[in-house]
């Protein structure tokens, strides 16, 4: 799978400043639009904007926004149509998981991962009823439009030094990708039922952490990614709890916006110079934003942090172990090809 490289300090020395500003502006949109699911509004725009490298690429942002609008609408229709037929519903879920993973394993394209994530969230939420899945669909649309406004604004205020745009270079996989995709689709289907059984609808954004672990095609990469997600979750939870503790001393919107900005600035600098992979710090900022937005709306901060960490431990590592075991039993990827990511 293609992994976005670390930002280059020569091309974009103020990346951290832009990241903090992106998080603060995304969170500032919450009181303006009053969404039903504030964590999506806070975290999703950061994922779409912070993934850009070098100069601002409007086409890439528009593509991400379009996908975040179209895919949830398609999935909402599919969920509402098939939910009265459990066997067809489960089969369609597995088929979409399989298609997404097959796309990633064959071409390395991140579009497949987007299909998997949207399918996980919409299908699991759909088990709670039509009203719940429609609420999530509307949350995706609201977050996409927030990203569409915030993205150009932050690049206008804090432009990159270079004028060159980053070009993704996905790496095709090797081996029998059909078998690998089938293994991951089956494990994720089982994980989806577990999520439905133990998670509340307001916590469904946490499913992304567990689902993204499964896309990495080698045993080493799967476990490495699981550890990275755990590290990102712990970083984000610690920053969120620290910000909430300060916020309780002076509960005003400018205070929490300033704390979010400082957290994003620090994590953005770590993306440039930190010892861990840059995506660890980017995911940590998304965790921080989702926790703060959830804690200040409907969730208790301590509970939200605990459930995120618990999901990462149980879901990510259980799924990683299951995928690694099945990969070893089937041998779909030749051993000499297996190398750390």
Question: Which region among 52-61, 164-173, 322-331 has the lowest average model confidence (pLDDT)?
Answer: 164-173
Look up the domain containing 231 and give its range.
Answer: 15-337
Q: Would you say residue 1 lies in a domain?
A: no
Q: Would you say residue 4 lies in a domain?
A: no
Q: Would you say residue 6 lies in a domain?
A: no
Q: Would the pLDDT of 260 be above 90?
A: yes
Residue 286 in 3-state DSSP?
helix
How many structural domains is the chain composed of? Answer: 1
Contact 332, 180 (CB under 8 A): yes
Q: Would you say residue 113 lies in a domain?
A: yes
Q: Would you say residue 220 lies in a domain?
A: yes
Average pLDDT along the chain: 79
Q: Would you say residue 231 lies in a domain?
A: yes
Residue 307 in 3-state DSSP?
helix
Instruction: Identify the band that residue 95 occupies on the pLDDT scale cut at 50, 70 and 90.
Output: very high
150: which residues sit within 8 A by CB, 6+ positions away?
22, 25, 26, 29, 45, 49
Q: Would the pLDDT of 294 be above 90?
A: no
Q: Would you say residue 301 lies in a domain?
A: yes
Helices (H), ranges, 127-203: 130-157, 177-198
Q: Would the pLDDT of 11 be above 90?
A: no
pLDDT digits (tens, 9 = 90+) for 309-324: 566 567 667 777 787 7
Q: Would you say residue 308 lies in a domain?
A: yes
> What is the rounded average pLDDT of the residues 268-276?
85
């Amino acid at each position: 799978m293609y992994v976005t490289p670390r930002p280059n300090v020569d091309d974009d020395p103020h990346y951290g400043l832009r990241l903090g500003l992106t998080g603060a502006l995304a969170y500032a949109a919450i009181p303006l639009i009053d969404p039903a699911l504030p964590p999506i509004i806070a975290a999703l725009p950061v994922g779409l904007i912070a993934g850009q490298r070098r100069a601002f690429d409007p086409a890439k942002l528009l593509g991400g926004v379009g996908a975040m609008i179209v895919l949830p609408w398609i999935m909402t229709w599919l969920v509402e149509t098939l939910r009265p037929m459990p066997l067809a519903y489960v089969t369609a879920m597995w088929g979409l998981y399989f298609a997404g993973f097959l796309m990633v394993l064959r071409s390395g394209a991140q579009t497949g991962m987007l299909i998997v994530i949207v399918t996980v969230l919409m299908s699991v939420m759909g088990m709670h009823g039509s009203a719940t899945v429609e609420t999530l669909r509307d949350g995706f649309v609201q977050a996409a439009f927030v990203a569409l406004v915030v993205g150009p604004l932050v690049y206008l205020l804090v432009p990159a030094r270079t004028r060159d745009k980053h070009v993704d270079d996905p790496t095709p996989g090797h081996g029998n990708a059909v078998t690998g995709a089938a293994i991951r689709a089956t494990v994720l289907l089982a994980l989806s039922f577990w999520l439905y059984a133990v998670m509340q609808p307001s916590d469904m954004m946490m499913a992304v952490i567990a689902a993204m672990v499964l896309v990495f095609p080698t045993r080493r990469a799967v476990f490495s990614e699981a550890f990275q997600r755990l590290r990102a979750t712990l970083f984000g939870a610690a920053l969120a709890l620290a910000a909430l503790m300060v916020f309780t001393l002076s509960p005003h919107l400018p205070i929490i916006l300033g704390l979010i900005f400082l957290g994003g600035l620090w994590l953005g600098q770590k993306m440039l110079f930190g010892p861990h992979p840059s995506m660890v710090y980017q995911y940590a900022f998304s965790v921080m934003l989702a926790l703060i937005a959830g804690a200040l709306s409907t969730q208790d901060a301590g509970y939200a942090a605990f459930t995120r960490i618990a999901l990462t431990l149980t879901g990510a590592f259980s799924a990683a172990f299951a995928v690694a075991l099945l990969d070893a039993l089937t041998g779909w990827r030749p051993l000499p090809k297996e190398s750390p990511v």
